[in-house]
Structure 1
Amino acid sequence: MSTSRLIDFHSHWGTERGWRGSPYATAADREALRGYFKWDMQFVSEDAQAARFRRDEVQVMLDFAFTYTMDIGEVREQHDYAFDYAGKHPDVGLGNWIGIDPTQPAHVRELDRCLREGPGLVGLTVHSFTPAGTPDDKGWEACLNMCIDANRPVLVHVGMSATGAGTRGGMGITLEGCHPRYVDRIAARYPDLNVIAARVAWPWQSEMIAIALHKANVWMELHGWSPRYFPEELKREIGKRLRKRVLFGADYPMLGHDHLVAQWREQGYAEDVLHDVFHGNAESFLASIGVR
């Protein structure tokens, strides 16, 4: 069992290297993100990031988010960078979400390498705006089956996306691709696949709740939102029917773990509910896939 008070199923890198290849790699590109998250993009070293996680008593799943846009050499370098970090800081590095372009055979081979060789928990993250389209499209089939064979989860983003928010055209991203119907479809099509819905699913929260209640192979992690802004029906269900289906997610460095914990406590949840959200549900999930 973990000794951490938090298991964070979705955050990003606080290091400059961790943002390589993203739409926010340059100072000019970061202005939209700065306005949305009120974060000034001050990067830290790898050791300082690990120290921050130790201070907050958290183990973290880290996501590069934009490696699917890179050529295979750059993708492999980013993954090796992540794996080196996990090897040096195993007490705070739970694992990594791997984002690839499944229409490129070299990317698919790289996912296979990561699933076989990556330290800690390695899972596939799916963005509907990749060339393969939404996760129910045939382009994702081989990768989803690889995750089933490896008994590793798939992270599917739902709800309002911060990427492109506040920009003209939203960086070309259509929010329809973030509808939770795609979680429902792949969970039904692949009953042996563990699917984690990433983010609060607003404006489709009712649909996401129904899917999580209907499919035993679906979980929800709620990164990117302060719990004070959760839709009311989500707040109610966290302490009731969804109590065992919710995983904590932060979205560090945009949102800090210490502030989020305080905000969760402000909502008046019982201590045993918070225990489940902060780490109990994650420990059960990890044990079920052989990570703990």
Structure 2
Amino acid sequence: MVDINKVRAIDIHTHAEEPCGCHDDDGYDDLQSTMAKYFRAPWEHPPTIPETAAHYREQNIAAVIFPVDSERETGYRRYKNEEVAALAAENDDVLIPFASIDPHKGKFGAREARRLIADFGIKGFKFHPTMQGFYPNDRLAYDLYEVIAEHEAIALFHTGQTGVGSGMPGGNGMRLKYSNPMFMDDVAVDFPEMKIILAHPSFPWQEEALAVAQHKPNVYIDLSGWSPKYFPEILVRYCNSILKKKVLFGSDWPMITPERWLSDFEQIKIKDEIRPDIIKNNAARLLGFS
């Protein structure tokens, strides 16, 4: 189990990857290689979960890690939640497992969520509206949200445009409209006890994300997917003031390394007394470590 007093940071947003070659029949490797060029990622092949754990252990950083279940919309077969959870358990000194279930699975998906929470200790669920092809406030997802809320787990939603499919024909078929954070306002109203994280600076809807997080007590923002040096001024201002207890360090590993993100974070105008909360303490409270 993660010793929260020993790690220097908590990365709330990292992706689980299978060994290279598992997806050469469905196009996933092409997506990953294109994204790696976009982000200038420092690897030839995506790191496996054990390799991810080793990297984070070396950096003395804990990490929330998850797959993305988008096989219905994209055709990319999913990395099974059980496999991710089992590997995370083998590295539980640094890895905190989340799962991912396509909301289109309805009650079947809700049953899977219950089982994952009971059998694997899953603390949260990752949603990617752009890759999964759904509006977050669509009632088709509500059976799944009910389970998450009931078990006091976390729902983490991709928002905005962060480079997934960027430059590929038709954006690789991915529609940006699904990831407008304003759709999360309905979810926050309908599930006021469910902890919600809006992932990434939400380009081009940054102010919508800030408004929802400020207005709804159960909504947080993670800062993954962008180098901090590119953060819009209004995001930095809110980090330093109204949302200082509701913003979370996230890298978007393996596209951005945690050490690169943290180094760039040191260069932006965040108040010194607020930095520890963003890097670690806010996430520790949200995850129930403190």
Aligned to 1:48: 51
Aligned to 2:135: 134
Letter in 1 for 2:82: D
- Given that 1:243 and 1:277 are in contact with CA atoms closer than 8 Å, whether structure 2 keeps it comes out as yes
Looking at structure 2, the residues matched to 132 and 86 of structure 1 have their Cα atoms a distance apart, in angstroms, of: 27
Unaligned runs of 5+ in 1: none
- Given that 1:9 and 1:248 are in contact with CA atoms closer than 8 Å, whether structure 2 keeps it comes out as yes
Letter in 2 for 1:52: H
Shift, 1:15, TM fit: 4.8
**TM-aligned CA distance change 1:84 to 1:22, over 3 Å:** farther
Shift, 1:137, TM fit: 0.7
- Aligned pair count reads 283
Looking at structure 2, the residues matched to 11 and 147 of structure 1 have their Cα atoms a distance apart, in angstroms, of: 20
Looking at structure 1, the residues matched to 66 and 247 of structure 2 have their Cα atoms a distance apart, in angstroms, of: 19
Aligned to 1:58: 61
- Given that 1:136 and 1:185 are in contact with CA atoms closer than 8 Å, whether structure 2 keeps it comes out as yes
Letter in 2 for 1:215: K
Moved more, 261-270 or 97-106: 97-106
Percent identity over paired residues? 25
Query: TM-score, normalising length from structure 1?
Result: 0.87
Looking at structure 2, the residues matched to 65 and 19 of structure 1 have their Cα atoms a distance apart, in angstroms, of: 15
Letter in 1 for 2:268: Q
Letter in 2 for 1:262: S
Aligned to 1:36: 38
Aligned to 2:183: 182
Looking at structure 2, the residues matched to 44 and 192 of structure 1 have their Cα atoms a distance apart, in angstroms, of: 35
**TM-aligned CA distance change 1:103 to 1:210, over 3 Å:** same
**What are the within-5 Å matches in structure 2 for residues 1-292 of structure 1?**
1-13=4-16, 15-16=18-19, 25-26=28-29, 28-39=30-41, 40-66=43-69, 68-69=71-72, 78-103=80-105, 105-119=107-121, 121-129=122-130, 133-287=134-288
Letter in 1 for 2:119: E
Helix, strand or coil at the partner of 1:9: strand
**TM-aligned CA distance change 1:151 to 1:19, over 3 Å:** farther
Looking at structure 2, the residues matched to 17 and 80 of structure 1 have their Cα atoms a distance apart, in angstroms, of: 19
- Given that 2:107 and 2:144 are in contact with CA atoms closer than 8 Å, whether structure 1 keeps it comes out as no
Helix, strand or coil at the partner of 1:191: coil
- Given that 2:236 and 2:269 are in contact with CA atoms closer than 8 Å, whether structure 1 keeps it comes out as no
Helix, strand or coil at the partner of 2:11: strand
Shift, 1:103, TM fit: 2.9
